[in-house]
Chains A and B, each alone.
Chain A
Amino acid sequence: EAQVTQNPRYLITVTGKKLTVTCSQNMNHEYMSWYRQDPGLGLRQIYYSMNVEVTDKGDVPEGYKVSRKEKRNFPLILESPSPNQTSLYFCASSIGLAGADTQYFGPGTRLTVL
């Protein structure tokens, strides 16, 4: 089954404790991205990647890191999480450029930073 998976689905952590949210897709998609969704603000892009070893900032990259060492994986790293990073996070992939192709979203990761 074609899908985007994320882990963990739920995470409660404390300020400053480094964490990684994994994202993997099995559709051989070139483009992957991370979004956060907050009430009243909608989905905002954090980082995106057009291919292996190619990443770029989205609208709200501060406090996050990403890497794209393999085509299928695009982990999101929070080196020192803070409470304002409490949010619902979605990973997404698409076969080509985001503007022209359907985005396939993972199931989401609900992160709480205390």
Chain B
Amino acid sequence: RKEVEQDPGPFNVPEGATVAFNCTYSNSASQSFFWYRQDCRKEPKLLMSVYSSGNEDGRFTAQLNRASQYISLLIRDSKLSDSATYLCVVNPVKAAGNKLTFGGGTRVLVKP
């Protein structure tokens, strides 16, 4: 089983709709969770950190479910510019805790 797993998609989303997707992680001791956004073969950029209580940033909401070991990302009122690959990133807290593990990414395509 991969340490961090994501549905690769693509999720085809009509403009203005809501889309949500999850990411599961295998190490129950993981401490830090993030969502990064990556546009086609460009560098990943931090979208948001994921906190235990859940957090919201504009149209984006991230949730953490420690019991079931997954994090989620919800995008409301999708824009064409939201089309991208969303990478789930987990710190599995090995040894010195200096390593991040990336999921394979979920591709989202927002269409007019």
* Residues of chain A having any CB pair with chain B under 8 Å: 31, 35, 40-45, 48, 50, 56, 58-59, 88, 90, 97-100, 102-103, 105-108, 110
Contact = CB atoms under 8 A, between A and B. Distances in A.
A103 B104 contact: no
Interface of B: 4, 31-32, 36, 41-46, 87, 89, 91, 93, 96-100, 102-105
Contacts of B91: 98-100
B93 A42 contact: no
B62 to A, nearest CB: 15
Contact of A105 (B44, B104, B105): B44
Contacts of B43: 90, 105-108
B100 A40 contact: no
B104 A97 contact: no
